[in-house]
Amino acid sequence: MIKRQKGCNDIYGKEAKVWKYIDQVIDALMEKYNYNYIRTPIIEATELFHRGVGETTDIVTKESYDFEDKGGRKITLRPEGTAGVVRSFIENKMYGDPTQPVKVYYNGTMYRYERPQSGRDRELTQFGMEILGSDDPLSDAEIISAAVNLYKILGLKEIKVNLNTLGDNESRNNYREALIKHFKPHIKDFCEDCRERLEKNPLRILDCKVDKDNEILKNAPKTLDYLNEDSQKRFDKVKEYLDIMQIDYEINPSIVRGLDYYNHTVFEIEAKVEGFGSNNVIGAGGRYNGLVNQLDGPETPCVGFATGIGRVAMALELEKINLPINNSIDLFLMYVNEDEKKYAAYLTQELRLSGFIVDTEYTDRSLKAQFKQADRLNAKFTCVLNSEDLDNNEVKIKNNKTKEEEIISLDALLYYLDEKINTEFSDEYDYCDCEDDCNCHHDHEEKHECCGKHHCHKEEE
């Protein structure tokens, strides 16, 4: 038997519905923030990631899937989304679009050759958003706010933003020299990777998982001590806008991120989820003002964020968050003979095109087995097509909630189903358990802004 590759997963059944729900929330949120969807190829020229992500990053040196195609071209399966978006921005001359900045989001598959572990796979799905063409600190705050709001809408409660800045190139270079001076006398006590990083990119030492408990690393210089005046003012503006947006954050000077292209704002977002282990970072991002120019485009300031969909789904499962996922169908059509089956084929088509979720029998099971199938599908209504009823232009409908049966004219079936589903099944919401003071004062038909779920404000029941 051929099996799936290590570090890759089949997503199906209930889990697939969770993933699709997350996708729907992302699409709805991005529409509110006025971001446009972008889809870039899974395969790109290897040079894109070596030049863009950085020769010293683990993604390039250890984790990228590189190969030559039949034409001898060096190809890489994309390990992250930003470099491909920037390549598309340059190649399609989006910088010339009069509508600036360019605000896009992606939601696609990435590949990294790393040791598979909980929440980290070789094939991963990543959602990311980018603002290309704005150096305004407000755009940094917007990216962070959108990320935080996504997690809150999905129902995650304890979200923490760890915020830092690397400053501009001058500040970053000053900090780089300070790190080299700090680590050089002790570098022999660090792992082989860190020894190689010292001259190439000493900031990467701060991300080392092997030496994370080394006192020399813990006492390393902090980025905030090497900011020039302009960088400090810019960082203060980012914090000011976050305060205005009421986005809680904590300054964490140890946040440097693992990619070479970052400057100024960098951040990581944690979710306090029991079972996540020591690494509870669920998403991260920052500003990368030099990347477009580095990839042969014009000078363009950019900022972005990314999160793994699998890791988000894992957090929702561990937190036991009940998502408002539809696990039912509106109607299950049953039949016994061939003429009734043909009418079932016709009626399912008509009802589906009218907006109803309808299914029928496909394996010639007995009527008793068809009823069991209807129960497995959580059908709101069932209908046994009967030739005599059909000759009278009627069908018998059973409401599986009230167990009542009614004879309905076929001409009135659409109206009947629409009315019943919108009245008798309208309360089948997934109500949230927000605090009473969550500032959402809607009636029970609407959704909470804080979590995206419905809440019942009817009289005590």
**Domains in the chain: how many in total?**
2
Query: Can you give the CATH number for the domain in which 81 is found?
Result: 3.30.930.10
Q: What is the structure's pLDDT at 411?
A: 94
Q: What is the structure's pLDDT at 432?
A: 43
239 is written with which tokens?
A: 């914090």
User: Are 157 and 262 part of one and the same domain?
Assistant: yes
User: Are 380 and 232 part of one and the same domain?
Assistant: no
Per-residue pLDDT of 27-50, as tens digits, reads 999 999 999 999 999 999 999 988
User: Are 109 and 242 part of one and the same domain?
Assistant: yes
User: Are 410 and 343 part of one and the same domain?
Assistant: yes
User: Are 127 and 272 part of one and the same domain?
Assistant: yes
187 in any annotated domain = no
Q: What is the structure's pLDDT at 370?
A: 97
Domain of residue 415: give its range: 329-424
Model's pTM, two decimal places? Answer: 0.84
User: Are 49 and 84 part of one and the same domain?
Assistant: yes
440 in any annotated domain = no
**Average pLDDT, whole number, for the chain?**
87
User: Are 313 and 359 part of one and the same domain?
Assistant: no
User: Are 235 and 361 part of one and the same domain?
Assistant: no
Residues of the chain with pLDDT under 70: 52-62, 118-119, 257-260, 277-278, 427-461
User: Are 296 and 355 part of one and the same domain?
Assistant: no
Q: What is the structure's pLDDT at 69?
A: 92
301 in any annotated domain = yes
Convert the chain into a string of H (helix), E (strand) and C (coil).
CCCCCCCCCCCCHHHHHHHHHHHHHHHHHHHHCCCEECCCCCEEEHHHHHHHCCCCCHHHHHHCEEEECCCCCEEEECCCCHHHHHHHHHHCCHHHCCCCCEEEEEEEEEECCCCCECCECCEEEEEEEEEECCCCHHHHHHHHHHHHHHHHHHCCCCEEEEEEECCCHHHHHHHHHHHHHHHHHHHHHCCHHHHHHHHHCHHHHHHCCCCCCCHHHHCCCCHHHHCCHHHHHHHHHHHHHHHHCCCCCEECCCCCCCCCCCEEEEEEEEECCCCCCCCCEEEEEEECCCHHHHCCCCCCCEEEEEEEHHHHHHHHHHCCCCCCCCCCEEEEEECCCHHHHHHHHHHHHHHHHCCCCEEECCCCCCHHHHHHHHHHCCEEEEEECCHHHHHCCEEEEEECCCCCEEEEEHHHHHHHHHHHHHHHCCCCCCECCCCCCCCCCCCCCCECCCCCCECCCCCCC
